Homo-oligomer: A and B are copies of this chain.
Amino acid sequence: MSKQKREIFNLINSTCDHFTAEKIFFEIKKVIPSISLSTVYRNLNVLVQENKIKCLKISDSKSVYDRNVINHAHLISDKSGEITDIFSDKINSLINELSDGKANSFDLIIHY
């Protein structure tokens, strides 16, 4: 694991916030000034594939990255952009019910 990848992983794990690739880029730059945005994207994709982080795509926004890898919902304020994780067994069973038990995963974003 390269220094760059480790820093990216640690940063995401150190916050319950949901950072964009650009935000991550500027944060890591403080520690590794030579890092490039493409390295950030590349490592984020690898970490997602390794199931160490999750990528959350929100309509009309940049992707953000989440340290919580188990499937959960998100509550988003349309005013501030603040994102909150929601874990709920009720969601899981409803998803299961609606999909006849076939669901692999879901994306649920609640706007308020």
- Write the residues of chain A forming the contact surface with B, with a CB cutoff of 8 angstroms: 55, 57, 59-60, 73, 75, 78, 86, 88, 90-91, 94-95, 97-99, 102-112
Contacts and interface: CB of A to CB of B under 8 A. Distances in A.
A88 B78 CA distance: 24
Contacts of A60: 57
- How many identical subunits does the complex contain? 2
A91 B107 CA distance: 13
Contacts of A107: 59, 107-109, 111
A75 B100 CA distance: 11
5 contacts: A78-B104, A88-B98, A95-B110, A104-B111, A108-B109
Given A57-B59, A59-B57, A110 B90 contact: no
A83 to B, nearest CB: 13
A98 B87 CA distance: 10
